[in-house]
Amino acid sequence: MAYFLFNVHDRYEGSTRYEVDTLFRMFVLKELHGWEHQTSLVDYLRNAPVVCDQLGLETVPDQSTLWRSWNTRFTADLRETVETTARTLFIEA
């Protein structure tokens, strides 16, 4: 991931609280767990401070922020990359 250019796939142009690479990692986590909705991810993160530290989160984003990021901010290619990354990690584990 060190060589991946996240900004190319970021459709949001304003200032943001969450960087696209952090969101990417959160969405990979969501896919690895097989959660259908962002609410499950939010609930998990609220109860996993160690994971939040590892992701570099000072606060847990709310469900609407994650929904908007996935459906509006991320390009279709980036969403597909999240899903492919999660599948690859799952297979390798």
Q: Residues 6-50: pLDDT tens digits?
A: 564 555 555 567 888 899 999 999 999 999 999 999 999 999 999
Flag whether 13 is in a domain. no
Alpha-carbon distances of 80 from 57, 75, 86, 88, rounded to whole Å: 24, 9, 10, 12
Flag whether 5 is in a domain. no
Flag whether 2 is in a domain. no
Q: What is the pLDDT of residues 40-64, one digit of tens each?
A: 999 999 999 999 999 999 999 999 9
Q: What is the pLDDT of residues 72-82, one digit of tens each?
A: 888 888 899 99
Flag whether 62 is in a domain. yes
Task: Report the predicted TM-score, pTM, of the whole model to 2 decimal places.
Answer: 0.83
Q: Which two tokens stand for residue 14?
A: 């304003």
Question: Count of domains in the chain?
Answer: 1
Flag whether 72 is in a domain. yes
Q: Which domain holds residue 48?
A: 18-92
Flag whether 81 is in a domain. yes
Q: How far apart are the first and last CA of the chain?
A: 17
Flag whether 9 is in a domain. no
88 vs 17 pLDDT, higher one: 88
d(CA 60, CA 88) in angstroms, rounded, equals 26
